[in-house]
């Protein structure tokens, strides 16, 4: 039944950004009602939060029923219904369940959805939430060959985890994983892809993503609106194809997809390829290097597009080039009293020389938390400065079972030729790269148990002139921590 509600704070989205924002604001204003509107039945909460060093943080994520949040914060109400309309000038929000909310401050944390290479093709799927991961698993169990498009974190994890199914991995770059590391690190990882699954070592233990215990991890009524998965999204989901033997990964470098055909389209096409030699497959992918592959289906892992649609109509949001809601250094959008955080937003402030936005869950948490503090500061008419976490980009993750730490301009982003690289590599064990400019460390990639993250973070933050140390910086026989104490 339609109803009207006056609420001081409304937050949209039950992912990391929205939940962190809602928790923070609910604890800061215990006598004000806070509403969290979300399309998904479960919310994502941060647990086991650990501040590893000044800017590095680690935590686990747990999907929980919304009642858990409501028990913890009596003034927080979670409403499972997607927002269908926003009238920002009137401070009014309408949910699919018919409820209307009049807010004082609103924070949009609606995340993103997979940027599908080709829309509306039955043989092309993206992975974003529990639903799509389960759909992928189901289809994989009957598949003999899949084509994976994309070179980001999801593609990397996927090609490594799939067993019993041939994987054709098409990337537009010269090396794998170039969103996260350079060609040298890519080379370090290649043997892991070639190793038999049983031989794959487990060099690191990393925070685990805990999946839905209740088994109700499906999206809300609006379809593809579940929360984004995080690291270890494949844990608990067996990624096994229809073949008995172990998987093989074949990488097609520096290519893009020209066309994806269904079987019927392929047979009717005028392609000069000898069709009979390719065998019969449900789908065919034509790459711009001239090759055509038959496959069971295609996984499009080519990034996300911010979920902004329900909010745009009739409003005047400033959108960034990547279609995110542009926010200033107080997480404010261009519409008054509307803030945004997480994957849906694009940082519009002049960033520190050592930070860049990447749509990762660490940043979703940080932005959600900071957005809440900004809303609070605005309400209380207090000043607030950009949080320290935006000083230095840091990310801890795991690829191919190795711990990976990324710091600052880890890939010399935006530095042109004005930088120097130092690399140390022990095959199968560790890969360490530092980026220096003018003798000062501005970034690092640490793969394996290097134990260097804190020291390097300090060196990056204090911008000490390291010219006189030269390559000694990475000398494994020197205890670098002692060196700079």
Could you say which DSSP state residue 193 is in? Answer: H
Please tell me the count of residues contacting ligand FAD according to CB under 6 A: 39
Q: Specify the residue, 294 or 348, whose C-beta has the smaller distance to ligand FAD.
A: 348
Angstrom distance (rounded) from CA 82 to CA 220 = 7
Restricted to residues 445-464, the positions that interact with ligand FAD (CB under 6 A) are none
Q: Using CB under 6 A, which of 7, 10, 12, 285 touches ligand FAD? A: 12
436 binds ligand FAD (CB under 6 A): no
Per-residue b or e along 399-422, where b marks 16 or more CB atoms closer than 10 Å to that residue's CB:
bbebbbbbbbbbbbeebeeeeeeb
| Angle in degrees, CA 449, 444, 183, rounded to 5 | 90
Angstrom distance (rounded) from CA 334 to CA 325 = 8
155 binds ligand FAD (CB under 6 A): no
Helices (H), 112-262: 130-140, 153-161, 183-194
Angstrom distance (rounded) from CA 56 to CA 337 = 31
Binding string to ligand FAD for residues 302 to 321, with x set by CB under 6 A, is what?
-----x--x-----------
Q: Specify the residue, 165 or 364, whose C-beta has the smaller distance to ligand FAD.
A: 364
Q: Using CB under 6 A, which of 153, 217, 324, 448 touches ligand FAD? A: 153
Closest approach of ligand FAD to the CB of residue 31, in Å: 25
**Spatial contact of 370 and 339, defined as CB atoms under 8 Å apart:** no
Q: Specify the residue, 18 or 348, whose C-beta has the smaller distance to ligand FAD.
A: 18
**Spatial contact of 56 and 14, defined as CB atoms under 8 Å apart:** no
Q: Which residues contact 27 (CB under 8 A, 6 or more apart)?
A: 73
Angstrom distance (rounded) from CA 374 to CA 360 = 21
Angstrom distance (rounded) from CA 364 to CA 57 = 12
Restricted to residues 103-132, the positions that interact with ligand FAD (CB under 6 A) are 109-112, 127-128
11 binds ligand FAD (CB under 6 A): no
Closest approach of ligand FAD to the CB of residue 408, in Å: 17
Q: Specify the residue, 396 or 432, whose C-beta has the smaller distance to ligand FAD.
A: 396
Closest approach of ligand FAD to the CB of residue 469, in Å: 32
Angstrom distance (rounded) from CA 154 to CA 317 = 30
Angstrom distance (rounded) from CA 287 to CA 291 = 5
Binding string to ligand FAD for residues 380 to 399, with x set by CB under 6 A, is what?
-----------------x--
Beta bridge partners of 95: 83
Restricted to residues 217-236, the positions that interact with ligand FAD (CB under 6 A) are 225-231, 233
154 binds ligand FAD (CB under 6 A): yes
Q: Specify the residue, 189 or 361, whose C-beta has the smaller distance to ligand FAD.
A: 361
Give backbone dihedrals phi and psi of 326, rounded to 5 degrees, phi first.
-70, 130
Restricted to residues 323-352, the positions that interact with ligand FAD (CB under 6 A) are 342-343
Closest approach of ligand FAD to the CB of residue 478, in Å: 32
Angstrom distance (rounded) from CA 201 to CA 401 = 8
C-beta neighbour count of 389 within 10 angstroms: 21
Binding string to ligand FAD for residues 253 to 292, with x set by CB under 6 A, is what?
----------------------------------------
Helix axes of 183-194 and 153-161: crossing angle, nearest 10 degrees: 20
Q: Specify the residue, 293 or 361, whose C-beta has the smaller distance to ligand FAD.
A: 361
Residue with tokens 């002049």: 350
Q: Specify the residue, 115 or 424, whose C-beta has the smaller distance to ligand FAD.
A: 115
Closest approach of ligand FAD to the CB of residue 10, in Å: 10
156 binds ligand FAD (CB under 6 A): no
Closest approach of ligand FAD to the CB of residue 245, in Å: 26
Q: Specify the residue, 330 or 424, whose C-beta has the smaller distance to ligand FAD.
A: 330
Angstrom distance (rounded) from CA 111 to CA 10 = 16
* Residues that bind ligand FAD in the complex, under the rule CB under 6 A: 12-18, 37-40, 82-83, 109-112, 127-128, 153-154, 225-231, 233, 307, 310, 342-343, 359-362, 364, 397
């Amino acid at each position: 039944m339609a109803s009207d509600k006056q609420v001081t704070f409304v937050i949209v989205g039950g992912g990391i950004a929205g939940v962190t924002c809602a928790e923070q604001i609910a604890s800061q204003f215990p006598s004000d009602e806070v509403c969290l509107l979300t399309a998904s039945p479960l919310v994502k909460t941060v647990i086991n939060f650990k501040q590893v060093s000044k800017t590095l943080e680690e935590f686990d994520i747990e999907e929980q029923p919304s009642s858990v949040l409501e028990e913890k914060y009596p003034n927080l109400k979670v409403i499972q219904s997607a927002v269908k309309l926003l009238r920002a000038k009137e401070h009014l929000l309408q949910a699919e369940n018919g409820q209307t909310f009049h807010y004082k401050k609103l924070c949009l944390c609606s995340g993103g959805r997979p940027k599908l290479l080709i829309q509306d093709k039955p043989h092309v799927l993206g992975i974003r939430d529990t639903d799509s991961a389960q759909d992928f698993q189901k289809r994989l169990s009957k598949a003999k060959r899949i084509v994976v498009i994309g070179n980001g974190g999801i593609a990397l994890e996927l090609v490594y985890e799939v067993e019993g199914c041939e994987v054709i991995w098409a990337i537009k770059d010269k090396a794998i994983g170039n969103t996260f590391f350079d060609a040298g690190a890519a080379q370090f990882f290649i043997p892991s892809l070639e190793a038999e699954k049983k031989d794959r070592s487990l060099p690191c233990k990393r925070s685990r993503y805990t999946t839905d215990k209740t088994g109700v991890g499906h999206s809300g009524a609006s379809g593809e609106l579940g929360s984004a998965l995080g690291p270890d999204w494949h844990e608990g989901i067996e990624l096994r194809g229809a073949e008995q033997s172990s998987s093989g990964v074949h990488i097609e470098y520096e290519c893009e997809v020209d066309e994806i055909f269904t079987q019927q389209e392929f047979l009717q096409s005028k392609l000069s390829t000898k069709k009979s030699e390719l065998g019969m497959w449900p789908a065919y992918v034509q790459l711009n290097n001239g090759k055509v592959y038959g496959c069971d289906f295609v996984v499009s892992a080519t990034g996300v597009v911010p979920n902004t649609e329900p909010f745009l109509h009739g409003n005047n949001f400033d959108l960034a080039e990547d279609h995110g809601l542009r926010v200033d250094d107080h997480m404010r959008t261009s519409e008054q009293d509307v803030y945004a955080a997480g994957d849906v937003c694009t940082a519009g402030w002049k960033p520190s020389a050592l930070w860049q936005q990447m749509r990762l869950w660490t940043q979703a948490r940080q932005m959600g938390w900071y957005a809440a503090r900004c809303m609070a500061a605005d309400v209380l008419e207090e000043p607030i400065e950009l949080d320290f976490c935006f000083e230095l980009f840091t990310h801890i993750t795991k690829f191919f079972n190795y711990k990976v730490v990324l710091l600052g301009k880890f890939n010399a982003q935006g530095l042109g030729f004005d930088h120097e690289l130092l690399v140390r590599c022990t095959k199968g064990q560790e890969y360490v790269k530092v980026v220096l400019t003018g003798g000062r460390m501005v970034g690092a990639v640490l793969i394996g148990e290097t134990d260097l993250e804190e020291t390097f973070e300090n060196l990056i933050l204090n911008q000490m002139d390291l010219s006189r140390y030269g390559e000694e910086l990475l000398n494994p026989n020197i205890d670098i921590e002692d060196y700079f104490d």
